[in-house]
Amino acid sequence: MIAIVGPTAVGKSELALHLAQYFPIEIISADSRQVYRYMDIGTNKPSPAERESVPHYLIDVVEPDQDFSLAIYHQLAIEALKAIKQKGKLPLLVGGSGLYVWSLVEGWKIPQVPPDRKRRNQLEARAEQEGSQNLYQELQDIDPIATLKINPSNTRRIIRALEIYHATGQRPSQLQRKEAPDFPILLIGLTRERSELYRRIDWRVDKMIQMGLVEEVENLLKKGYSFSLPSMSGIGYKQICQFLQGEMTLPQAIDKIKCETHRLARHQYAWFRLGDSRIHWFDSSEAEAEANIATMNKVKILIEGFIS
């Protein structure tokens, strides 16, 4: 398997589609938001034409109001890997969700604990009233190792960890084992100079608005999907929902989306560290076409050596 990792808007999808012109590749998405149907613009899904030219997996697999977890993703991704290999093709994992990527690359054994809706509602109500910090502290008292991998502001993951603990009586970190896959994996990382990356993020957010992100959120609401759904808490959707509820103006929502996406990029660099010796890093920060071509050629040479 080959995996292309790095922060949002760095050019991972563009590189994947380019490589598909030279290698028998099929793509597995490692994006925690592209799994939801009808959420196309705000998640920057590949276009129908791109998906027709290169098969993509793990896109549009659940409704926006359905539960989706790392365990579900991992199971579906393993099935996709097997299907691609059976066709004699090369699986290419592409995305910026560190949890999803590392679960496959490192062979995590994830506890299959079904959601406990009653307890989850209770914890969500506490988070709303008390803030996520109290829940984070509770999890830290139970399982300090688990909290090392969870951002204190990530309420969903904190609640899920507490849910697993109460369902099994075991610390989540004890249930998550690793068993290295029995096939070689090539990790390719893309990075850009930070200011250039932020410029690309801002341009992409403006493009999403022009393409109809506000209308996309309005259509989701018309279909009956609630503001409060986890799927609607993603960057872009959350801020547009706040705009539609009159909590901020559209320019304020757009600025907030850009700011939060910058924050996401910094968080992704924590998942995919430039000093990680497992990752072959390529700097594609220069805007000139020649620089991009040079980067792609270097990646092609690396892959040719890997598959030979």
- Is residue 94 predicted with pLDDT exceeding 90? yes
* Cα 296 to Cα 217: distance, rounded to the nearest angstrom: 35
Q: What's residue 287's pLDDT?
A: 53
What class is the 117-175 domain?
A: mainly alpha
| Nearest residue to 124 (alpha-carbon basis) of 165, 159, 172 | 159
pLDDT band at 66 (very low <50, low <70, confident <90, very high): very high
State the fold for domain 2-110+179-307: Rossmann fold (3.40.50)
Torsions phi, psi for 237 (to 5 deg): -70, -45
Q: What's residue 293's pLDDT?
A: 75
- Is residue 174 predicted with pLDDT exceeding 60? yes
Q: What's residue 289's pLDDT?
A: 56
Give the mean model confidence (pLDDT) for residues 44-51.
96
Pairing of strands 177-178, 108-109: antiparallel
- Is residue 111 predicted with pLDDT exceeding 80? no
Kindly report the average pLDDT of the chain as a whole number.
92
Give the mean model confidence (pLDDT) for residues 85-94.
97
287 or 222: which carries more pLDDT confidence?
222
pLDDT digits (tens, 9 = 90+) for 124-159: 899 989 888 999 999 999 999 888 878 888 888 899
* Cα 139 to Cα 161: distance, rounded to the nearest angstrom: 7
Tokens standing for 177? 């084992």
How many beta carbons lie within 10 A of that of residue 292, not counting itself? 16
* Cα 113 to Cα 165: distance, rounded to the nearest angstrom: 10
**H/E element holding 280?**
strand 279-283
Identify residue 124 by its one-letter amino acid code. E
Task: State pTM to two decimals.
Answer: 0.85
Give the mean model confidence (pLDDT) for residues 201-207.
98
pLDDT digits (tens, 9 = 90+) for 246-289: 999 999 999 999 999 999 999 999 999 999 999 999 987 755 55
| b/e per residue 3-42 (b: at least 16 CB within 10 A) | bbbbbbbbbbbebbbbbbeeeebbbbbbbbbbbbbebbbb
How many beta carbons lie within 10 A of that of residue 221, not counting itself? 13
Tokens standing for 155? 């309420």
Q: What's residue 154's pLDDT?
A: 86
Question: Within 13 Å and on the Cβ side, how many CA atoms surround 163?
Answer: 21
Q: What's residue 146's pLDDT?
A: 86
For the chain, domain boundaries: 2-110+179-307, 117-175
Q: What's residue 243's pLDDT?
A: 98
Give the mean model confidence (pLDDT) for residues 100-116.
87
Give the mean model confidence (pLDDT) for residues 290-308.
85
Identify residue 199 by its one-letter amino acid code. R
* Cα 37 to Cα 231: distance, rounded to the nearest angstrom: 10
Instruction: State the residue for tokens 């506000």.
Output: 214
Give the mean model confidence (pLDDT) for residues 62-82.
94
Tokens standing for 71? 């365990």
- Is residue 108 predicted with pLDDT exceeding 80? yes
Q: Contact at 8 Å (CB) between 101 and 93?
A: yes
- Residue 94 pairs in a beta bridge with 4, 29
131 or 100: which carries more pLDDT confidence?
100
| Nearest residue to 124 (alpha-carbon basis) of 163, 172, 67 | 163
